Amino acid sequence: MSRARGDEEEYWHSSKFRAFTFDDEDDELSQLKESKRAVNSLRDIVDDDDDDLERVSWSGEPVGSISWSIKETSSSSTSSLEGRDSSLQKGSSSYAAFPKQVSSYSLSSLFKGRNKLPSFQSLSDALSDTGVKNYAPELRRPKAEYKDYSSDWSPKDTVRRMQRGKICSLERFRSLQDKLVLLDEAVAGHDGNVITAVLIFLKRTLRREILFRELEVRQVALCHLIHFLKETGEQKLLLDLLRFLDRTEEVALSQYREHLNIQDVEKRREFLKGCIGLPFSAEDTSHIQDHYTLLERQIIIEANDRHLESAGQSEIFRKYPRKASILNMPLVTTLFYSCFYHYTEAEGTFSSPTNLKKTFKIPDKQYVLTALAARAKLRAWDDVDALFTTKNWLGYTKKKAPIGFHRVVEILQRNNAPVQVLQEYVRLVEDVETRLNLATKYKCHDVVIETYRDLKDRIQLTAYKCKVERGSADEEKINSILNNMQIRWKN
Amino acid sequence: MAFAGRRDAPEAPDFGILKRLARDQLIYLLEQLPGKKDLFIEADLMSPLDRIANVSILKQHEVDKLYKVESRPAPSSSDQFCFLVRPRIRTMRYIADIVNADKMSGRSRKYKIIFSPQKFYACEMVLEEEGVFGDVTCDEWSFYLLPLDEDIISMELPEFFRDYFLEGDHRWINSIARALQLLNSLYGPFGKVYGIGRCAKMSYELWRDLEEESEGDSQGRKPEIGNIFLMDRDTDYVTALCSQVVYEGLVDDTFRIKCGSVDFGPDVTSSDKSIKVLLNAQDKVFSQIRNEHFSSVFGFLSQKSRNLQAQYDRRRGMDIKQMKNFVSQELKGLKQEHRLLSLHIGACESIMKKKTKQDFQEMIKAEHSLLEGFDIRESTSFIEEHIDRQVSPTESLRLMCLLSLTENGLVPKDYRSLKTQYLQSYGPEHLLTFHNLKRMGLLTEQSAGETLTAVESKVSKLVTDRAAGKITDAFNSLARKSNFRAISKKLGLIPRVDGEYDLKMPRDMAYVFSGAYVPLSCKIIEQVLERRGWLGLEEVVRLLNGNEFSVSDSAVEDNPAWESQRVVLAVFLGGCTFSEMAALRFLGRERGCKFIFLTTAITNSARMMEATIEAKA
């Protein structure tokens, strides 16, 4: 269902979504500001302690501060709760002091059955004998249960007992047949905890090839074993299993995953080098190769720059000390870094932006966005200019960008570019409405005036007069346009 | 449940009892280890624990010091250690290390592990392997259900999503079945059970199995909840991946609501400190705006602040007696309201600021195009630019997944190029993320055969490149068996509206996405409840990969006069978003029924995406 362009535009303009926008110029926000003022003006009347809020709790119970209390223990683990409690009541945290509250009934009353509390009625109903088991932990297990160890439960009953958390010996399932019936029962019972328990038993009592072979046709159980091996960190067995199943891509990914646990960069680099030969898809192999190359580069750049920075010779590092190391950062961050600190370097050096662009085949769009952000941050407007200037064969210059100029404007604006710089790019925004919006928002008067002139919109242009300064060149410009008899106004 | 006439929705049952049960069981377990003890708590159990107990309760039961379970063991002189943990292998190793270190140094202590919500055999195996099996005692704290609000119950198991949908591990199904069993015994019996999804089906079966032998006598008891609907998250990934625009959803997307409360930072509080605020029906301001589209919130807040101003102004003409009354009776309430109002206004401001900075408008536009299925090229380049500019990694992933889900996979050329750029922008190790997303079916590549039919390739040879591109696009959308598109058409998920959609007076559930899209998950629930089953939805079910069920318990008395007939427990396996809750609350108001939400965890697009990323061990 692909609609024609015209349709879409009409759609968006007549759209039902227009009712609300997240533009900051919106009426809604001013409404909000007004409410805020109103509320704030009341502050003097009502301001005192901060307690009310934190005490609110929908059941009316005070909410204690266990989390807070724990944070405190970890910082000074010697003091005990007594001290804690008193400081709590002074209200030193954002929590208010809470009244001591003793639980309204005790557990023993729960087990007696009927309770006088009216709201408890339905529970006591539910608690008639068997129900109790659900709420009371099975702490005092009758001695008899331990005897079940040797009883002859059927596979189904065994699974059912295990689902209910009862101890059950699996040792008597010795034939392969019995083991598999047990496993199938566990899967049929849907309880993953029991499935894993049976698998642990099978893993212990079966040769791995046999276990693997049987799991190949039991996908649910297989998932459980794989997850279990991941969690317990039995990497070698996991890889054997995946290899047995011919899941080569998972073998590769699972090995690659280990790099996350290697802290030392040199070791990590070595490890990644080894990953290149793993059986990834062709596409992923190149990603892994890039990962390795990137870290290799970062190690070189980091060593150089740390040296430069500490020597204090380089102006850029003195002016803008590095906030963090570049190691293990994504490629785009590395590119930003190199556009920031190494922009003018020749392509031959590892840290130069052009070198990075070439090595990693960074698309133009991505490169320009990143370079723009970096140079704008340094307020290097000339570099920004050069980034978009192209010369044709006659030597005329023209501004071109692989991204929309509205994006360029946005990035420049975020870096507090002066109006003169901003204006130049606002003018290049193709869509008239967007251009007008941006120009108005960032007070690029020239652009606004010229756009209204081109639209032959006298009413808007006249209205804009009040937005420019009295007696300024802008006002003069508006007046001269309005007085121009050559223009055939549309209104 | 017939949707006849408009009646007021029934009240939600009181879920406070669930908290009391959990608290009392915990106390009972602590009492099993008499004497002073240090308590080690798993990080992600702390917030849930905070909601049901507090330090003084723990102290009353002789808990001395509190520690967080983390990698470095704490030096402590206590003779008894108690560990309150989730059943995880790595936590077991942490505990075993502590025990073994004590053994080495000849220190003797008592150790108790309390697993919540249940113990896993694999954990015991680790304890056995580490040689500490007999040294520790194990217990289970059946804390399955945490009521977060009047109508929200969470299992607080965010890992369910990854464990089940990525790893294919069924370990939590037992916990879900037990949670259902508990709810059924307290608020049931549920007369009608509907569901869709493999996990929903398995959970249902295991729950029935547990019920059978518990033979609890539910005959003749008047239920508080009559219907239950179970749904797997993978039935509808699209909705969970959309940007949220109802207030509660936006607050969650922007600040992350954790266990029913949110930390508002200095930018919201306009002071130098953060404030932790509980967000629920008790908050009089929040409860009125939580379900509203963000655009309606401003109007409401300004009206509210004017009212407040007027209330304060009444003071002026008062004599002493009236003033005394005012101070003793109204002032506290007004102050409370004032505080809440200024917080929510601050939150709105902060949201506006952040969203404006992020091109939210453009992003919503791209999302809506994806949902409606036109202008795919433009949306693809929007996503590309998003990646190139290194805007948040989860946002970029989310958009790619939306593109893939709505288009039934990416064209191979786009897939390669977006993947390459993603790895360049956010790090090569995301190769693993892409693999995970592929496995879950969240981000896939169309296989070569699917994209070009013979006719197409012939046609494209005949025309110029530019035109060929367009034609291919047109052919693709026809040739592709895009399930989302087909489902969307069948169920009418994209409302055809003339003129503006009035977000202040919503006409359907689409308002939660600015009138552009009715959440699929909620639409399914609506349709099934209306039809009292799946009859007539066969085609939709087929497109959703089946696994639907609908069961009436004949043993349960079916009394249409009971309010419980109009109470529906909506169970989301793998997470529920605040937008979905808002949509169903709207449906409930329209149809006079009450929805209660039970979810493995509250989710949103960022949490879902983060769950697919590989972290170091």
pLDDT digits (tens, 9 = 90+) for A39-70: 666 655 555 544 444 443 343 333 445 665 55
Taking only residues 91 to 150 of chain B, the set having a beta carbon closer than 8 angstroms to any beta carbon of chain A reads 118-122, 125-126, 139-142, 147, 149-150
* H helix or E strand, kind and range, residue B196: strand B192-196
Minimum distance, in Å, between the CA of residue B458 and any CA atom of chain A: 20
Q: Residue B19: name the closest of B214, B154, B159 by CA.
A: B154
Question: Is B597 a residue whose pLDDT tops 80?
Answer: yes
Determine the pLDDT at residue A94.
Answer: 39
pLDDT score of A220: 93
Please give the interface size between A and B, counted as residue pairs whose CB atoms are below 8 Å apart: 409
A137 pLDDT above the threshold of 70: no
Is the pLDDT at A392 greater than 80? The verdict is no
Calculate mean pLDDT across residues A12-26: 46
Residue A70's pLDDT is 59
Q: What is the 3-state secondary structure (H, E, C) of B440-470?
A: HCCCCECCHHHHCCHHHHHHHHHCCHHHHHH
Burial of A364 from C-beta contacts in 10 A (0-12 / 13-18 / 19+):
exposed
B392 contact A CB<8A: no
Distance from A126 to chain B by nearest Cα, in Å?
Answer: 6
CB contact under 8 A, B125 and A125: no
pLDDT on residue A87: 39
Has residue B162 got a pLDDT over 80?
Answer: yes
**Lowest model confidence (mean pLDDT) among B83-92, B239-248, B287-296:** B287-296
ipTM of the prediction greater than 0.90, yes or no? no
Residues of chain A contacting residue B429, judged by C-beta atoms under 8 Å apart: 259-260, 291
Given a cut of 60, is residue A132 above it in pLDDT? no
The mean pLDDT value for A429-435 works out to 87
Residues contacting B342, CB < 8 A, separation 6+: A36, A39, A40, A43, B270
Query: What pLDDT score was predicted for residue B453?
Result: 45
Question: From the CA of A201, how many Å to the nearest CA of chain B?
Answer: 10
Q: Per residue in B359-411, pLDDT tens? A: 788 899 999 999 998 889 999 999 998 898 888 899 999 999 999 999 989 99
Arithmetic mean of pLDDT over chain B: 86
Contacts of B242 in chain A (CB under 8 A): none
B454-501: pLDDT as tens digits = 444 444 444 444 444 444 443 333 333 458 999 999 999 998 876 778
Q: What is the mean pLDDT of residues B231-251?
A: 94
Q: In sequence order, which residues have a C-beta less than 8 Å from that of residue B542 and are 6 or more positions away?
A: none
Q: Which of A211-215, A392-396, B587-591 has the lowest mean pLDDT?
A: A392-396
pLDDT in tens, B31-52: 888 888 888 999 999 999 989 9
Query: Which of B23, B302, B482 is the best substitution to test chain A (most A C-beta atoms within 10 A)?
Result: B302
More confident residue, B218 or B329: B329
**Maximum mean pLDDT: which of A160-164, B152-156, B339-343, B472-476:** B152-156
Q: What is the pLDDT of residue B7?
A: 66
pLDDT at B374: 86
Cβ-based contacts of A40 with chain B (< 8 Å): 342
**Which residues, in sequence order, are bridge partners of residue A68?**
none
Res B325: pLDDT? 79
pLDDT of residue A411: 87
In A, which residues are within 8 Å of B615 by CB distance? Answer: 260
- Half-sphere exposure (Cβ direction) of A122: Cα atoms closer than 13 Å: 23
Flag whether pLDDT at B596 surpasses 50.
Answer: yes
DSSP B503-545: TTS--SGGGGGTTS---HHHHHHHHHHHHTSSTT-HHHHHHTT
A35: nearest CB among B90, B126, B301: B301
Report the pLDDT averaged over residues A436-456: 86
* Beta-strand pair B594-599/B63-68: unpaired
Model-level pTM greater than 0.90?
A: no
| Range with lowest mean pLDDT among A128-137, A478-487, B328-337, B355-364 | A128-137
Which of B124, B149, B174 to mutate to probe the A interface, most A CBs <10 Å? B174
* Surface of B (13-32) touching A: CB under 8 A: 14, 16-17, 19-21, 23-25, 27-29, 31-32
* A369 touching chain B per CB within 8 A: yes
What residues of A are in contact with residue B499 (Cβ under 8 Å)?
Answer: 16
With a CB-CB cutoff of 8 Å, which residues 315-354 of chain A face chain B?
Answer: 328-333
| Selected residues 146-185 of chain A with any CB under 8 Å from a CB in chain B | 160, 162-165
* Spatial separation of the C-alpha atoms in residues B428 and B418, rounded to whole Å: 13
pLDDT of residue B480: 34
**pLDDT above 50 for B137:** yes
Tokens of A264: 């030392």
Is residue B139 very low, low, confident or very high in pLDDT (cuts 50, 70, 90)? very high
Q: Which residues does chain A have within 8 Å of residue B390's beta carbon, measured at their own beta carbons?
A: 330, 332-333
- Checking if the pLDDT of B197 tops 80, the result is yes
What pLDDT was estimated at residue B442? Answer: 93
* B181 closest CA partner among B157, B200, B208: B208
The pLDDT of residue A59? 39
Among A21, A64, A70, beta carbon nearest to B54 = A64
Rounded to an integer, the average pLDDT of B301-318 is: 80
Helix (H) or strand (E) holding B550: strand B548-552
**Which residues of chain A have a CB within 8 Å of the CB of B300?**
none
Q: What pLDDT was estimated at residue B165?
A: 94
pLDDT of residue A108: 34
pLDDT tier, A264 (very low <50, low <70, confident <90, very high otherwise) = very high
Q: Which pLDDT score, from 0 to 100, does residue A91 have?
A: 38
Half-sphere CA count of B81, side-chain side, radius 13 A: 24
Q: Do B17 and A119 touch (CB under 8 A)?
A: yes
Contact B306/A at CB under 8 A? yes
Residue-level pLDDT at A389 = 84
- CB-based contact, B340 to chain A, within 8 Å: yes
Which of A229-238, A449-458, B153-162, B177-186 shows the lowest mean pLDDT across its residues? A449-458
The predicted structure's pLDDT at residue A472: 82
Grade residue B341 by pLDDT with cuts at 50, 70 and 90.
confident
Q: Which pLDDT value is given to residue A334?
A: 94
The answer to whether A75 faces chain B, any CB pair under 8 Å, is no
Largest CA distance in chain B: 92
* Partner residue facing A330 (CB), from B54, B120, B427: B427
Min mean pLDDT across A194-198, A242-246, B358-362 is at B358-362
- State how far the Cα of B365 lies from the Cα of A22, in Å rounded to an integer: 11
pLDDT at A136 > cutoff 70: no
